[in-house]
Amino acid sequence: MSKVNLEIPEVAIREVRLGSITGFQGSAKELVDCARCGKLKDKSRSFSQCLGCSTSIAACTTVLIQDAAVISHGPVGCSSCLHEYEFTYRVNAALREVKNPTQRKIYSTNLEEKDTIYGGIKKLESAIREVYKRANPKAIFIITTCAAGIIGDDVESVANVAQEELGIPVAAIFCEGFRSKMWTTGFDAGYHGIARKIIKKAEKKRNIINVVNFWGSDIFGKWFREFGYEPNYITPYATIDSLEHSSEAVATVQACATLGSYLGAALEQEFGVPEIKNSPPYGIAQTDRWFRELGTLIGKEKEVEEFLEKQKEKYMPQIEELREKLKGKTAYVTAGASHGHSLLGLLQELGMEATGAAIFHHDPVYDNEELDSDTLQHVVKDYGDVKNYNVCNKQEFELVNVLNRVKPDILFARHGGMTLWGAKFGIPSLLIGDEHFGMGYEGLINYGKRILETLENDEFVKNLEKHSLNPYTKWWLDQEPYTFLGGAK
Ligand code: SF4
């Protein structure tokens, strides 16, 4: 049965829709083997540190659209982290060659105590009108918060009435933080709103390929032009017009299946745009598989083979050199699910040893229900098992404990704030925000060089280790890292 249903305002959370989990400890192969055989059981923690919130993740899918506005319906504190997207938008604009990045349009209804008693609908209605007047957006997204969900404000009805009144799409996005232990549910909620209210049925096809991504550099433009296509990025730096017409694409690809699972399936099932099911192109084997699936889909198999041949000729000598330099170096990865798996593949492709991973959740299946989308199974098949594989929704106390034992040569992190824990132990730590940086053959060279630079320039972290205080005491560091996993009633 299809997991996509655009008839209803809310998308089911990942725990329910995909059977996703946030607690596991074992090896990557054990997780792959049990993920689809009915034996995958989430483990609770009897102690937990704070988690991320779906609201800011839903914002990630909407705030970076150039001509839209976003209203956080809730207490002002729930929108306090959204200003970071202004920074993200401006810093990464250069990667996508956006010359004049506009200011983000982010607002809050600022629900207060009395609103939780009398309701926040009046505030929301006037906020929508005010935002329309001030920002003149092409669409308005309303992201909900715990307070709005608990008091039961009918945000969907308000959005529908406002849409009629203003004549622009107004989408309610249900992403209250308490709905799910997986903040990635916010991606699905955001894309559900976009698929319901923005994307239009196609009347014709064009030579464009949708790319569901975060904010990475324009590598797909370079690749797709080789085959006569242009990328249509969703949603960073997109416009409401480009999103409306994403149904005219010949295919959809993703930078990360964790991110685009729902939208890729929605575009295929509801708008007839086929999705490339293979995991994104990180590492040689996966790059080849991904390009071949693309070639079959667009009817350019021969051209793709020629392209891959040229890539090998051009980049393999440098890749071999890097492998020689990095051989035997150990690395630990902490990241979101699919991208974290890609990083595990990438470092092993470069001859390094993966000593473990702390991955923020695990989806046993994606919305398209295809095994080819499971990045972790590709990594295990291509490079072998990864020991010390931990699924933890950013439980830093577990990460610190493991790092203290494993002491890798380098820590790879995907989220800001996580590299700190490696640095405090004197471990060179690498965070790369551009998720396209490691893609394809050239990506291996990009990453390999950056890893070498990080390993060679370790003076700062070595000094930091000497002078920093670790908030985690010997009491905790002497215990097993997963002492509290599986202990909840
Ligand atoms: S978890 Fe709830 S209260 Fe906390 S920031 Fe998210 S929406 Fe607001």
In a domain, 166, yes or no: yes
* Res 36: pLDDT: 79
- Are residues 109 and 221 both part of a single domain? no
- Are residues 62 and 159 both part of a single domain? yes
Q: What is the pTM of this model?
A: 0.95
> Taking a C-beta distance cutoff of 8 angstroms, is the pair 165, 158 a contact?
no
Quote the mean pLDDT of the chain: 94
- At 64, which helix (H) or strand (E)? none
In a domain, 488, yes or no: no
In a domain, 290, yes or no: yes
Containing structural domain, residue 71:
52-180
Nearest CA to ligand 1 atom 6: 177
- Are residues 172 and 289 both part of a single domain? no
Q: If we measure between CA atoms, which residue out of 362, 351, 359, 343 comes closest to residue 431?
A: 343
- Are residues 157 and 218 both part of a single domain? no
Task: Determine the atom of ligand 1 nearest the C-alpha atom of 177.
Answer: 1
In a domain, 87, yes or no: yes
* Tens-digit pLDDT profile for residues 2-39: 679 999 999 999 999 999 999 999 999 999 998 878 77
> Taking a C-beta distance cutoff of 8 angstroms, is the pair 444, 348 a contact?
no
Q: Which residue has the tokens 């203290």?
A: 404
Q: Which residues pair with 428 in a beta bridge?
A: none
> In angstroms, what is the span from residue 147 Cα to ligand 1's centroid?
8
Residues with CB under 6 A from ligand 1: 53, 55, 74, 78, 145-146, 176-178
> In angstroms, what is the span from residue 156 Cα to ligand 1's centroid?
19
* Tens-digit pLDDT profile for residues 434-480: 999 999 999 999 999 999 999 999 999 999 999 998 899 999 999 99
Nearest CA to ligand 1 atom 3: 146
- Are residues 138 and 241 both part of a single domain? no
The helix, strand and coil proportions of the chain, stated in percent and rounded to the nearest 5, come to 50, 15, 40
In a domain, 456, yes or no: no
Nearest CA to ligand 1 atom 8: 78
Domain count, the chain: 2
> In angstroms, what is the span from residue 182 Cα to ligand 1's centroid?
13
- Are residues 170 and 58 both part of a single domain? yes
Whether 1 has a pLDDT exceeding 60, the answer reads no
- At 32, which helix (H) or strand (E)? helix 28-35
- Are residues 168 and 220 both part of a single domain? no
Task: Determine the atom of ligand 1 nearest the C-alpha atom of 54.
Answer: 6
* Tens-digit pLDDT profile for residues 126-169: 999 999 999 999 999 999 999 999 999 999 999 999 999 999 99
Q: Which residues pair with 390 in a beta bridge?
A: 25, 358
Cα angle 272, 274, 276 (rounded to 5 degrees) comes to 165
Nearest CA to ligand 1 atom 1: 177
In a domain, 274, yes or no: yes
In a domain, 121, yes or no: yes
Task: Determine the atom of ligand 1 nearest the C-alpha atom of 146.
Answer: 2
In a domain, 242, yes or no: yes
* Choice from 60, 146, 185, 393 to test ligand 1 binding pocket (greatest atom count within 8 A of CB): 146
- Are residues 73 and 171 both part of a single domain? yes
- Are residues 243 and 173 both part of a single domain? no
State which of 253, 272, 296 marks the end of a domain: 296
* Choice from 73, 78, 174 to test ligand 1 binding pocket (greatest atom count within 8 A of CB): 78
- Are residues 216 and 262 both part of a single domain? yes
- Are residues 170 and 237 both part of a single domain? no
**Domain of 104: which CATH number?**
3.40.50.1980
- Are residues 97 and 165 both part of a single domain? yes
Q: d(Cα 3, Cα 17) in Å, to the nearest integer?
A: 7
